[in-house]
Amino acid sequence: MAGFTPPPYPYDRLAPLQLTASLLPGGLVDLSIGTPCDPPPPIVGAALADADAARSYPPSLGTPAYRTAAADWLQRRFGVELGIEAVAACMGTKELVAGVPHWLRLRTPERDTVLYPEISYPTYAMGATLAGCRAVPVPVDEGWRIRLDAIDEADAARALCLWVNTPGNPAGGLDDLAAAAAWGQAHGVPVFSDECYAEFTWDGPARSILSHATAGVVAVHSLSKRSNFAGARVGFYAGDPDLVRFLSEVRKHAGFMVPGPMQLAGTVAWADDDHVVLQRQRYLDRLDALAAGLSAFGLDASRPAGAFYLWIPAPHGDAWALAGELAARGGLLVSPGEFYGAAGAGHIRVAAVQPLERIEVGLDRLLS
């Protein structure tokens, strides 16, 4: 019987287009991966300089100061009141997303299914695969919101968890988080709400599932996007105290811990909101510039409901052909939608993660 062979990492498949784009005068404008290009706030960098935080093993759960800062931010941002016993640190959030199915199956071995939006961050499905579980995509509607009514009852009965993502990556949809929490409670299925783009919600206020419930739900947050701190790998998960306690105890045994200096810097970052206001405007300006330029090129491009990606249908449904044309003519590297699930084929994702002046270089070449 053959063992597991890891599939190609999606973004590695862009290497030929990256080469094509880099050969243009002015070079590559990489809009493929959602990695921040802007600096973290200065106060965060200053906190990293404290060498004392690196001396001892940090608590896997997170320092009381870090968890308090995260809980205080939840209260300021969403009006959610949680004690720090319902908050735990994680190494960014990707490792948490990938690990949750494995850890939940230890808790509930009779269940084997992970439910997630059919157009979404690929790690929801990969986490199920790595845990030997069934990855079952849930259809989304025309607004790119998860359709809870489309979940098969047989799949719900086997579900370890349901993932929702608001604002969504890649399409920017805003799920009904109250309905998701209610669905989970009605079916006895934990709901994990990936809210890493919450600060970049354009249609209405930022939202969290924790505003509607804590029983049976866990919200996941990260400083990667909010504070341009992706390289630090620091985030948190919070919600149902029993779920948080179980996950944190398993992770403690496995040695998952955010480095001490990163927890110290993260404490400072969660406590400051001013830098996020500046970052929001940067992304809005870039999204508007990209939407205007790509619309002038003849594409159906408009600002999303949330997050900092444009989700654009490809002419004739050929996303790779469109990605190739954008690379060859504008030096713009974008992601074909199939990276985010089979249902995403026929679209491209354009990440507003380059400075405005670099975006304008690419658009000028494209439109000349």
Residue 334, number of CB atoms within 10 A of its CB: 28
C-alpha closest to that of 28 among 308, 330, 283: 330
**Cβ of 2: how many Cβ atoms within 10 Å?**
4
Angle, alpha carbons 353-227-213 (nearest 5°): 110
State the first-to-last Cα distance of the chain, in angstroms, to the nearest integer.
55
Q: Which pLDDT score, from 0 to 100, does residue 217 have? A: 98
- Superfamily of domain covering 10-39+275-367: Aspartate Aminotransferase, domain 1 (3.90.1150.10)
Candidates 308, 304, 329, 325; CA nearest to 316 is 325
Distance between CA atoms of 168 and 165, rounded to whole angstroms?
5
CA angle 338, 162, 85 (to 5 degrees): 125
Question: Cβ distance 307 to 174 under 8 Å?
Answer: no
Q: What is the pLDDT of residue 54?
A: 67
**DSSP letter (8 states) at residue 306:** B
pTM beyond 0.85: the answer is yes
C-alpha radius of gyration, the chain, whole number: 20
Q: What is the bridge-based pairing of β-strands 113-117 and 159-165?
A: parallel
pLDDT of 3 reads 83
- For domain 42-271, the question of CATH label 3.40.640.10 is answered with yes
Cβ atoms of residues 182 and 315 within 8 Å: no
Beta bridge partners of 146: 140
Cis omega (within 30 of 0) for bond into 170: yes
> Among 343, 334, 350, which Cα is nearest to 302's?
350
- Cβ density class 157-196: b for 16+ within 10 Å, e for less: ebbbbbbbbbbbbbbbbbbbbeebbbbbeebebbbbbbbb
Boundaries of every domain in the chain: 10-39+275-367, 42-271
Say what the pLDDT of residue 8 is: 84
Distance (Å, whole) CA 111 – CA 264: 38
Distance, in Å, from the CA atom of 286 to the CA atom of 353, rounded to the nearest integer, reads 8
Write out the chain's pLDDT in tens, 368 residues. 678 888 888 889 999 999 999 999 999 999 998 999 988 988 888 877 777 766 778 888 899 999 999 999 999 999 999 999 999 999 989 999 999 999 999 999 999 999 999 999 999 999 999 999 999 999 999 999 999 999 999 999 999 999 999 999 999 999 999 999 999 999 999 999 999 999 999 999 999 999 999 999 999 999 999 998 888 899 999 999 999 999 999 999 999 998 888 999 999 999 999 999 999 999 999 999 999 999 999 999 999 999 999 999 999 999 999 999 999 999 999 999 999 999 999 999 999 999 999 999 999 999 99
State how far the Cα of 146 lies from the Cα of 12, in Å rounded to an integer: 28
